[in-house]
Amino acid sequence: MDDVTRTGYLAHAMLPIYKRRIEQAREWTREALELCQNPYVAFSGGKDSAVMLHIVATERPGVDAQILMGGETRLLHPDIDDVLKWWKSNTSVNLIEVLVDTVFADGWEDATFEESYSQFYDGWNKYLHDKGHDGVFIGLRKSEAGNRRRLFRRFGAIHRYSENRKDARAGIVLACPLSNLTTADVWAYLIRHDIPTFDAYVDGDERTKTRLGWRAMNEFGQLADLRTRNPRGFNEIVARFPELRRFGG
């Protein structure tokens, strides 16, 4: 990020509208924390989840944060260990790395990408259920398009899932305290508080993920960007899943 852009975001952080939206995020965070005893923060290392984790940790020091990682995560983000080290060294957050490897792990050598992609989330849901969490904070914003916008129209910033659900979300409080923030608000907060994020974001990517995803490849050019930033990582991924080579640009 160049100095002019950085200075612009710092100026944005001085605006009353920015301060009001951040305070609203804090209020929603406090409200959600009153509704659950054992929440966790879904942390990805990206810009939105970093702001959310910082806000939640301010309201509840020592909060659990879980970063869901696949076997390909460090290929997509070679700087991830630097980001995780910052959180572990500079905050009270209890950062838990959860590895669900359906890419390079034993037993998955012959799986297609479709098989790997669908099974990944089954393992993740079982993990959450086993840990007994009753709330989750997710860094979604309603300014984002598609399913994320529809989620806010249906549930709002805070929602408790029905106890009658048949999956791991039964009774869980879903909190999205960044609901009203803009991209400028997010960057202003990160810079103002000196919070690191992945180089992929700093270099201009609006969205990315800690693992491969159909939407990230189709809409956000995940693999095309990786081919430019980390050719070795790109080659290793398409050697594992040759069917993904077409997404490399």
Summarised one tens digit per residue, pLDDT across range 132-179 is 788 889 888 887 655 555 555 556 788 877 777 766 666 788 899 999
- Secondary structure (H, E, C), the chain: CCHHHHHHHHHHCCCHHHHHHHHHHHHHHHHHHHHCCCEEEEECCCHHHHHHHHHHHHHCCCCEEEEEECCCHHHHCCCHHHHHHHHHHHCCCEEEEEECCCCCCCCCCCCCHHHHHHHHHHHHHHHHHHHCCCEEECCCCCCCCCHHHHHHHHHCCEEECCCCCCCCCCCCEEECCCCCCCHHHHHHHHHHCCCCCCHHHHCCCCCCCCCCCHHHHHCCCHHHHHHHHCHHHHHHHHHHCHHHHHHHC
Residue 141 pLDDT:
87
* pTM for this prediction: 0.87
Phi-psi map region of 51: left, alpha, beta (phi>0 left; psi -120 to 50 alpha):
alpha
CATH number at residue 90: 3.40.50.620
Residue 41 pLDDT:
92
Q: In this predicted structure, which of 6-20, 145-159, 207-221 has the lowest mean pLDDT?
A: 145-159
Please check whether residue 55 is in contact with residue 190, taking contact to mean a CB–CB distance below 8 angstroms: no
d(CA 232, CA 57): 36
d(CA 29, CA 164): 25
22-46: pLDDT as tens digits: 999 999 999 999 998 889 898 988 8
Q: Between residues 150 and 195, which one has the greater pLDDT? A: 195
Q: Between residues 92 and 206, which one has the greater pLDDT? A: 92
Please check whether residue 65 is in contact with residue 91, taking contact to mean a CB–CB distance below 8 angstroms: no
Total domains present in the chain:
1
Residue 158 pLDDT:
87
- In this prediction, residue 128 has a pLDDT band, given cuts at 50, 70 and 90, of low
Residue 208 pLDDT:
66
54-93: pLDDT as tens digits: 999 999 999 999 898 899 999 999 999 999 999 999 999 9
Instruction: Please return the burial class of 229, using the count of CB atoms within 10 Å of its CB with bins 0-12, 13-18 and 19+.
Output: middle
Please check whether residue 60 is in contact with residue 33, taking contact to mean a CB–CB distance below 8 angstroms: yes
CA count, 13 A, side-chain hemisphere, 68: 19
Residue 27 pLDDT:
96
Residue 170 pLDDT:
67
Please check whether residue 190 is in contact with residue 197, taking contact to mean a CB–CB distance below 8 angstroms: yes
87-122: pLDDT as tens digits: 999 999 999 988 889 899 999 999 999 888 877 655
Question: 166 lies in which domain range?
Answer: 3-248
Handedness of CA 134, 139, 141, 147 (dihedral sign): negative
Most confident of 2-6, 112-116, 190-194: 190-194
Residue 156 pLDDT:
72
For the cut 90, the answer to whether the pLDDT of residue 239 exceeds it is yes
Please check whether residue 10 is in contact with residue 3, taking contact to mean a CB–CB distance below 8 angstroms: no
For the cut 70, the answer to whether the pLDDT of residue 14 exceeds it is yes
